[in-house]
Structure 1
């Protein structure tokens, strides 16, 4: 086939091809000479150790097949590389462990821990950093036994990394210690040499080092003994200072650690003596955090400490209500519960109640009682707070105007409530009915469903206290025409549980039965039902027994207080 080129162009292409062949031949000859000379140099010869480095299946880094990652050949290569004095070879093994820590799903065989230990003892800091990160990953995924790490002596080189001055090495070693401290059996070993360096690193300027050190300190507060040692070593001021950290995780870890410390009363004096009011101020500041888990944790810590009058006074002085109300408005039940727990403790202290009512907290409680996702813990706290705050000067009126009463009645009808929760709800309603205005409002508010529920619970026998609480509410209802109409369908059922009450030896139940009968007899239909019934017979028995007891008591000369209690006589003199 013709090329289509003229003679001149064809000649030029042939000359160019000949030139290219000559140049390439010369270049090839020079390349061979260079590599021949390089090959004669000892630095490029493959030693047995380097051959083992090549033997380490580098292709395994392309996949995560555990059978290939953990075979005997690999173990032998890792042992040789880790024992080498060549830092490059050690790094090869360290990188292999790092890859392994990311892909391993089953426990690491104990035999593979020996090279790991040797690499931690390396003189090369980069090798130590790489292998310590591998160990963190393996500990986090529970691929290695924490107790075995301690038994093999790995804690010593890990703690030595604290002194390295390298933030990355310190960060990895702190994370290792934190994971090891999560095992109770390891804490004793960690406390001996680790506590002081950890406290020092918790004050590091590097946020990751500070974060991991505080994380480790948190784990050390999970047993009484290690908590005591931590406090003796000066851990409390450090943790309180960390509440002001700019890192939200450090704030959370330090606050959680302080919660654990505060759970034991013997440490309260140390906590309260830190810089006067510094602790309560710091916790209140954290309560206002935009990070809600930190706010809730600070609230929990204050709640534990707020049994102390000093803390209560500081909380009201520094206006704790605003962050409390913010917590109550969140959508996370656990955080709402933290806020309510603190509020419940504060409301149990009568001097606080007027302040709490004045700040509108009863209105918040009413809304929570109406919230469809309120938990049993939330409703229980609400009942206690309403009971406490209702005793204040303004409390009764605010309960009347708020959603608290209707919220309690709503909780009464919930089909999923436990007996324990129903007892809290009915006890609160019973307490509210000691106020005439609230009794009138409740009597006018109850529905047939409420009455049916109260009557049913009054007659159950599995929980006497719940039975008593429900019957007490019925006994206090104002017998208006509307109330009588609501109760009429239940008169026979009520007569049965009232008969049981009168037969009980517990005077409290007998008195409640009598009070209920007295109230119900205001309706002629109930009086007709009781007439000549077993209930009336039992009522006369109680009357007779009471009269006999009264007459017997009159036969005994009344005893003076001093003869009943001789200590009164001694004190008098």
Structure 2
């Protein structure tokens, strides 16, 4: 028999030690593997026929808790079901290994979630830890549904649910193999994400990726709730970055083609939120060679009103980028917008006006907008919806931007100025729409053809309203814009005649302007005086009022100002001379 030399013996020994170390490392890796996956809900024991062979021993304190709980529920009136006795029993039942007892606790929560009218005490949330992590599928279903009901109805504080650690088990349930549990857990995350404080917690706990996976679910309920949760998360600028990093953009863009209008709406709204940050525009348009714009333009024709509106809002956010805006206009967007402005739905009208407003800010789009004959439709829209503050606000802003000497004839033909005049008296002076309509009117009165048309439409009531606006001393901008209209219309003798019945109001507002601390008001008062002084009637009126006294004061102030200016200028010249 051959013997092994010392060298070979050492090699063999080293080899055996290496095998031992490798086996030990492998064992550690196997242990680590099972440690990582043992908490996953998909590996939790499901109920099968063999489970019926094993029944956990019902401990004495659990029996007593169950009996006392049932008796208490039967005897208690509706407003006394929530008390310390119920809570102690619930804690015991929820912590039990017996599925029947856990189901009793879950059923109780489901019952109160449908009946409760007030806030659930915070301590009642504690048993949810055990119920949501139960191995029993029915318990998971009932517990997750009841928690969603309580969240939706506002019976529990959303931030508190996260603070006490319930977010983790809810997120774990996203990985359940049961569609009902997935649906409920997605709905729970969606509701929690309505709170700004919770959004970062959901993202940092790894909630985004499971939601994106479930957004592709074949179950329509799960898909809706998952995309709804993503929408609520997208309301945060910081989470938008997470969403883009996790690959949400292609998923959301794909869902724009979904046959489910809710999924379309949620996806479009989420994309609109992301598009509000210009940093994401390039990433959004790189997907599918710019297919996003085509899909959004297609959704503008959707028969579902909220989908159509949301497509307009998303395009508006994207059109803040001038390059993208040019592409949108090139893709026949204006023709589609024109059709939406003719809809009977005010919501659709407002959405279309929002996008049109952004497009009209770019001077290079003006010819295209005017040639599309949109101004005519704007005029009709204002006549029909003159009491709608949103439509009046947006339409007047657009007309203001489009008003130039080149477009004044188109504005006159569209009767937009007349429509604005009608809308002027429909809003309170505190309304933002009142200021915008008045400012637009002031801009339009720069042009002779529009002034002529406005004067033809004026009556006693409209002039009285204009004069009332000049006296809004708490709202300087509104007062100034109304006075601008009167000053510019005052170049026409016909308007001066219409002002005669309102002599006192005219004198009062001019006097107030001349006394105003701001130079622009004093200047406007003097300009108005100059125009009206061409009329002999007003010359006589002004001579008999305090206006003449105030005019002398203004002249004196002006003379003193001129002297001061001359003195300052002379000192400045002397200083310059000495420097040389």
Which TM bucket (shorter chain)? 0.7 to 0.9
Q: Which residue of 1 aligns with 2:369?
A: 356
CA distance in 1, matches of 2:272, 2:312: 10
What is the root-mean-square deviation in Å for CA atoms of aligned residues?
A: 4.0
Residues 93 and 104 of structure 2 are in contact (CA less than 8 Å); yes or no, is this contact kept in structure 1? yes
In structure 2, do the counterparts of structure 1 residues 315 and 56 end up closer, same or farther at CA, with 3 Å as the change threshold?
farther
Length-normalised TM-score, structure 2: 0.76
Q: Which residue of 1 aligns with 2:417?
A: 405
SS of the aligned residue for 1:391 comes to coil
Does residue 376 (structure 1) correspond to residue 389 (structure 2)? The answer is yes
Residues 193-230 of structure 1: CA deviation (Å, up to 9, x unaligned)? 21211122122232211111112222222333333333
Correspondence list, 1:537-548, <5 A: 545=558
SS of the aligned residue for 2:426 comes to coil
Residue 253 of structure 1 deviates from its aligned partner by 2.0
Residues 59-101 of structure 1: CA deviation (Å, up to 9, x unaligned)? 9999995457446665566555544444455444433433333
In structure 2, do the counterparts of structure 1 residues 537 and 177 end up closer, same or farther at CA, with 3 Å as the change threshold?
closer
Residues 299 and 339 of structure 1 are in contact (CA less than 8 Å); yes or no, is this contact kept in structure 2? yes
In structure 2, do the counterparts of structure 1 residues 47 and 173 end up closer, same or farther at CA, with 3 Å as the change threshold?
closer
Q: Which residue of 1 aligns with 2:264?
A: 251
CA distance in 2, matches of 1:380, 1:92: 57
Q: Which runs of 5+ in 1 are unaligned?
A: 1-41, 564-573
Does residue 416 (structure 1) correspond to residue 428 (structure 2)? The answer is yes
Moved more, 397-406 or 457-466: 457-466
In structure 2, do the counterparts of structure 1 residues 275 and 70 end up closer, same or farther at CA, with 3 Å as the change threshold?
same
Residue 504 of structure 1 deviates from its aligned partner by 5.1
Residue 548 of structure 1 deviates from its aligned partner by 9.1
Q: Which residue of 1 aligns with 2:49?
A: none
Q: Which residue of 2 aligns with 1:134?
A: 146
CA distance in 2, matches of 1:176, 1:548: 70
Q: Which residue of 2 aligns with 1:385?
A: 398
Residues 64 and 103 of structure 1 are in contact (CA less than 8 Å); yes or no, is this contact kept in structure 2? no
CA distance in 1, matches of 2:408, 2:478: 24
From 160, 171, 174, give the equivalent of 2:183. 171
Residues 136 and 176 of structure 1 are in contact (CA less than 8 Å); yes or no, is this contact kept in structure 2? yes
Q: Which residue of 1 aligns with 2:207?
A: 194
Correspondence list, 1:71-110, <5 A: 78-79=90-91, 81-110=93-122
In structure 2, do the counterparts of structure 1 residues 167 and 61 end up closer, same or farther at CA, with 3 Å as the change threshold?
farther
Q: Which runs of 5+ in 2 are unaligned?
A: 1-52
CA distance in 1, matches of 2:424, 2:444: 15
Residues 341 and 381 of structure 1 are in contact (CA less than 8 Å); yes or no, is this contact kept in structure 2? yes
Q: Which residue of 2 aligns with 1:524?
A: 536
Q: Which residue of 2 aligns with 1:324?
A: 337
Q: Which residue of 2 aligns with 1:490?
A: 502
SS of the aligned residue for 1:284 comes to helix
In structure 2, do the counterparts of structure 1 residues 334 and 65 end up closer, same or farther at CA, with 3 Å as the change threshold?
farther
In structure 2, do the counterparts of structure 1 residues 84 and 255 end up closer, same or farther at CA, with 3 Å as the change threshold?
same
Residue 309 of structure 1 deviates from its aligned partner by 0.8
Residues 66 and 93 of structure 2 are in contact (CA less than 8 Å); yes or no, is this contact kept in structure 1? no
From 344, 354, 357, give the equivalent of 1:344. 357
In structure 2, do the counterparts of structure 1 residues 285 and 68 end up closer, same or farther at CA, with 3 Å as the change threshold?
same
SS of the aligned residue for 1:193 comes to coil
Length-normalised TM-score, structure 1: 0.77
Q: Which residue of 2 aligns with 1:262?
A: 275
SS of the aligned residue for 1:414 comes to coil
Does residue 233 (structure 1) correspond to residue 219 (structure 2)? The answer is no
Q: Which residue of 1 aligns with 2:305?
A: 292
Correspondence list, 1:396-475, <5 A: 396-414=408-426, 416-418=428-430, 420-475=432-487
CA distance in 2, matches of 1:508, 1:373: 31
SS of the aligned residue for 2:206 comes to helix
In structure 2, do the counterparts of structure 1 residues 378 and 77 end up closer, same or farther at CA, with 3 Å as the change threshold?
same
Residues 490 and 528 of structure 2 are in contact (CA less than 8 Å); yes or no, is this contact kept in structure 1? no
Query: What is the count of residue pairs matched by the alignment?
Result: 516
SS of the aligned residue for 1:307 comes to coil
Residues 44-72 of structure 1: CA deviation (Å, up to 9, x unaligned)? 9x976896798477799999954574466
SS of the aligned residue for 2:117 comes to coil
In structure 2, do the counterparts of structure 1 residues 250 and 549 end up closer, same or farther at CA, with 3 Å as the change threshold?
same
In structure 2, do the counterparts of structure 1 residues 84 and 505 end up closer, same or farther at CA, with 3 Å as the change threshold?
closer
Larger Rg: 1
Residues 53 and 89 of structure 1 are in contact (CA less than 8 Å); yes or no, is this contact kept in structure 2? no
Moved more, 398-407 or 484-493: 484-493
Q: Which residue of 2 aligns with 1:312?
A: 325
Correspondence list, 1:265-280, <5 A: 265-280=278-293
From 297, 302, 315, give the equivalent of 1:302. 315
